[in-house]
Structure 1
Amino acid sequence: MSRVTLQQLLLAGAHFGHLTRRWHPKMAPYILMDKNGIHLVDLRQTQSLLERACAAVSEVAANGQQILLVGTKSQAREAISVEGKRAQTPFVVERWLGGMLTNFATIRQGIKTLESIEKMMTDGTFEKISKKERLTKQRQHAKMIHTLGGIRDMRHLPGAIFVVDIIREKIAVAEARRLGIPVVAICDTNVDPSLVDFPIPANDDAFKSIALITRAIAESVIEGTARYRANADLRQAQADIEAREAEATGEARIRERERGRGGDQGAELRRRRVRRPHDEAKPTGGQ
C-alpha cells in the first residue's frame, strides 16, 4: 500500500478548509489553525487517518467485498470515474438515485433491463422491431448508462462506500448508515465527521486534493482485491489437496474392506474343505 506523504498533501492543497464562520465544531480536533479567516487542516492527522481508512478499505476488499466510490460534484467526477475503473470497483458520478442502497433489488432490476437492451442490440432483435420502438430503446439505454453505468457490475451491496463531500452526498451516507455499511469520506472543515466511520480531514473542493486521496483509496482496493484472489487460489489449492486425500483415503478403505471380505471367504472355503472326523463317519445299517 503506497504511503501518501505530507509533501504530496501540501502540494495538493489538502490543508485548505472553509471560512472560519462556516466551520463545524466537531472538526475542531483536526484543525491546525486559522489564517486570514480560513481554517487550515492538520495534515499529520490527514495522513494518519488516510492510512487508517486505506487499511480498512483494503481489508474489505480482501474479504471479497466491493467498495462503492461516490462523488457527483464536478471537481470529483473525473477522479472517481478514473480510479473506479482502474480499481475495477463500482462508482457513482451522476445524481445519486434514492434507494440505490436501501432499495437495491429495484436498482438491480434496472441493471438487468439495461443488459437486456444491450442483448437486443447484438442478437439482431433491433432489426425486427419498428424504428420508433428502436429509438425508444436506444434513448432508454443511453439514460440508464448515464445513471447506472458505474454500478452495473455491483451484484451485491458494497462492503463500504467512499464519499467525496458528505453534505452533497448526504442521502448516500444516510442509506449506508441505515444498512450498517461503513462510510469512508473526505471531511472538510464544514462537516460533521461523526457521521462517517473513517473520516479523512482534508479539502473536499480542490481537484488535486480529491484526486490524491481517491487514488490512495483505489490503490487500497487493488491491493485488497489482489490478496483476496491470492487467498482464493490458495483455498482452491487446499481444497483440491483435501479432495485428493479424501479420495485416496476412500479408495484405501474400499481396498481394506475388499481384503477383509476376501479373507472371510477364504476361511469359509477352508472350513468346507476340512471335514471333521464325525462328519466322515458313515451311518450304520439298521436302526
Structure 2
Amino acid sequence: MAVEVKELLEAGVHFGHLTRKWDPNMAPYVYMERNGIHIINLYKTAAKIDEAGAALAKIAASGRKILFVATKKQAKDVVAEKAGDINMPYITERWPGGMLTNFVTIRKAVKKMASIDRMKKDGTFNTLSKKERLQVDRLRAKLEKNLGSISDMTRLPGALFVVDIKREHIAIKEAQKLNIPIFAMVDTNSDPRQVDYVIPANDDASKSIDKILTYVSSAIAGGLAERKAEKEASAAAKGDAKPKAKKAVAANEEEE
C-alpha cells in the first residue's frame, strides 16, 4: 500500500506536542512550529513508514510474531482490531512486568489459562464447589484480560510495535535488554534514539493511530502472504517430485 502524504495530513498525523514539551532529538522530524505546537514533517513520516513496513514484512515472512503494545485509551481498540486482523499478538491492558525478560513465567500463566479451559471441556470444572468455580472463573477472566491475545505466542516476538514510547517505557526497556527490534510511532515529546524504526507521528489521536496502523498492518499482511505462497510452492514442488520418483523406480525395475 503506497503511503499518501495527503492521507496522513487528513488524519492529523502532523500534529506534534506543545513546543515547550518537545524532545530536541526529534528536531530532524519537525517541519515547523505553529501556534506553540510542533508540526511533523509528513514527507519524512511517509519515508519512515515505507522503511518500517519493509522490515516488518520481512519479519512476518520469516514466521516470527510482531507484538503490538498500546495501553492508552485512544489506541486500544485500533490496535486490537488491526493486530487481530493479521493474527498478531497485542497488549492493550497494563503491560505485565517481565512480559519479555521473564517470558517463562508469562508462559506459565498462559498454560494456567489453557488448563482451566481443559477443565471446562472435560467436566472437571463441574465437580468443584460453587465457591471454587467462582474463583476459577475470576482467575480465568483476569488472565484473559491481561494475556488473552498472547496465548498463542510460544516464543519471544521477532519485533515490538509500540504506540507512545513514553507511556510504554517498561516494554521498551525489556525489548532493549533482549535486543528485540523496536518499531514505534514517536511523537515530538519522545526520544527517538530508544527506537530502531522511528515513525514520527501524532500518537495521541485515534485517527492518526488508525492511519499509521493501516499502513503497517498492510505491510505485515504482505509478508504473511509471501510466506504462505512460498509454503504452497514448496508443497507443490514436493508433490510433483513424488510421482517423478515413483516413475524412476518403476523404470529401473523394468530395466532389471
Q: Given residue 128 of structure 2, which amino acid in structure 1 is its aligned partner?
A: I
State the TM-score, normalizing by the size of structure 2. 0.94
Alignment length (residue pairs): 256
Secondary structure at the counterpart of residue 53 of structure 1: helix
State the TM-score, normalizing by the size of structure 1. 0.84
Q: Give CA deviations for 1:103-151 in whole Å, capped at 9, x if unaligned.
A: 2122112111101111212222221111111111000000000000111
CA distance in 1, matches of 2:244, 2:102: 46
Secondary structure at the counterpart of residue 116 of structure 2: helix
Shift of 1:252: 5.2
Query: Aligned-residue CA RMSD in angstroms?
Result: 1.6
Residue 211 of structure 2 corresponds to 212
CA distance in 1, matches of 2:200, 2:113: 38
CA distance in 2, matches of 1:204, 1:118: 37
Task: State whether structure 2 residue 158 is matched by structure 1 residue 159.
Answer: yes
Residue 32 of structure 2 corresponds to 33
Task: State whether structure 2 residue 80 is matched by structure 1 residue 81.
Answer: yes
Task: State whether structure 2 residue 144 is matched by structure 1 residue 137.
Answer: no
What residue ranges of structure 1 are gaps of 5+ in the alignment? Answer: 260-287
Task: State whether structure 2 residue 2 is matched by structure 1 residue 3.
Answer: yes
Secondary structure at the counterpart of residue 135 of structure 2: helix
Q: Given residue 233 of structure 2, which amino acid in structure 1 is its aligned partner?
A: L
Structure number with bigger Rg: 1
Q: 1:178 to 1:245 in 2, by over 3 A?
A: farther
Q: 1:248 to 1:172 in 2, by over 3 A?
A: farther
Shift of 1:163: 0.3
Shift of 1:100: 1.0
CA distance in 2, matches of 1:207, 1:154: 27
Q: 1:177 to 1:241 in 2, by over 3 A?
A: farther
Shift of 1:159: 1.3
CA distance in 2, matches of 1:243, 1:172: 48
Q: Given residue 119 of structure 1, which amino acid in structure 2 is its aligned partner?
A: R
Q: Given residue 146 of structure 2, which amino acid in structure 1 is its aligned partner?
A: T
CA distance in 2, matches of 1:248, 1:171: 60
Residue 91 of structure 1 corresponds to 90
Residue 193 of structure 1 corresponds to 192
Secondary structure at the counterpart of residue 44 of structure 2: helix
Residue range with higher mean Cα deviation, 242-251 or 141-150 = 242-251
Q: Given residue 62 of structure 2, which amino acid in structure 1 is its aligned partner?
A: N
CA distance in 2, matches of 1:89, 1:69: 8
Q: 1:133 to 1:41 in 2, by over 3 A?
A: same
Residue 66 of structure 1 corresponds to 65
Q: Give CA deviations for 1:158-198 in whole Å, capped at 9, x if unaligned.
A: 11111000111111112112222111100101111111111
Shift of 1:249: 4.5
Instruction: Map 1:186-265; keep pairs closer than 5 Å.
Output: 186-249=185-248, 259=256
CA distance in 1, matches of 2:28, 2:251: 68
Secondary structure at the counterpart of residue 204 of structure 1: coil
Q: Given residue 187 of structure 1, which amino acid in structure 2 is its aligned partner?
A: V
Q: 1:33 to 1:247 in 2, by over 3 A?
A: same
Task: State whether structure 2 residue 16 is matched by structure 1 residue 12.
Answer: no
Shift of 1:232: 0.8
Identity score, percent? 46
Q: 1:40 to 1:121 in 2, by over 3 A?
A: same
Residue 148 of structure 2 corresponds to 149
Shift of 1:245: 4.1
Secondary structure at the counterpart of residue 203 of structure 2: coil
Secondary structure at the counterpart of residue 186 of structure 1: strand
CA distance in 1, matches of 2:252, 2:239: 20
Residue 267 of structure 1 corresponds to none
Secondary structure at the counterpart of residue 189 of structure 2: coil
Shift of 1:251: 5.6
CA distance in 1, matches of 2:5, 2:84: 27
Secondary structure at the counterpart of residue 226 of structure 1: helix
CA distance in 2, matches of 1:171, 1:150: 19
Task: State whether structure 2 residue 118 is matched by structure 1 residue 119.
Answer: yes
Shift of 1:240: 3.1
CA distance in 1, matches of 2:163, 2:126: 43
